[in-house]
Amino acid sequence: MLIGNVGREPEVRDLSDNTRVARFSLATTEKFRSKKTGELVEQTEWHNIVCWQSLANLAADYIKKGSKLYIEGRIKSDTWMDKTTQEKRESIEILATSIILLDKAGNRQPRETPTPEAIINETIADKSDIDDLPF
């Protein structure tokens, strides 16, 4: 669980299999008093956030640089060998499973007004798993 501010505009891509993915950075800040000096210390961590499908649509439509978000997700780490420098590289990402916009309602205007066809298609896509209900 993370609460923070978006550091850059989401990068949204549509993959060849019609899967949508969005990536952006999130800054979380912790404030505490230093035991040695007694001064207030502010420490910021940056997280790479990855969203798929409907969360990627949310990111594309509503999330922008500076947006305040609550994100739930899981950590995914990866290591690989850089082909040019032959050095071992590592990346750590948060795969978002839930996002709540914490900005004031007036700041949540969509970037562009969706067409009626887009709204219908999104609604149909969101109800595709309705047969999986347990009752």
Position 104 confidence tier, pLDDT thresholds 50, 70, 90: confident
Q: Give backbone dihedrals phi and psi of 120, rounded to 5 degrees, phi first.
A: -65, -45
**Angle, helix 53-62 to helix 116-126, in steps of 10 degrees:** 150
For the chain, list the domains and their CATH numbers: 2-132 (2.40.50.140)
Segment 38-91, tens digit of pLDDT: 899 999 999 999 999 999 999 999 999 999 999 999 999 999 898 888 899 999
pLDDT for the residue numbered 40: 93
At residue 106, the pLDDT reads 54
What is the reported pLDDT for 80?
Answer: 87
Query: pLDDT tens, 108-133?
Result: 555 555 555 554 445 444 444 445 54
The pLDDT assigned to 123 comes to: 45
pTM of the model: 0.72
What distance in Å separates the CA atoms of residue 27 and residue 102, rounded to the nearest whole number? 14
Residues 6 or more apart from 47 whose CB is under 8 A from it? 2, 4, 25, 26, 27, 28, 94
The predicted model gives 16-20 an average pLDDT of 92
Mark residue 84 as left, alpha or beta (left: phi above 0; alpha: psi -120 to 50; beta: remaining): alpha
Specify the pLDDT at position 91.
Answer: 92
> What's the pLDDT score for residue 112?
55
pLDDT at 127: 47
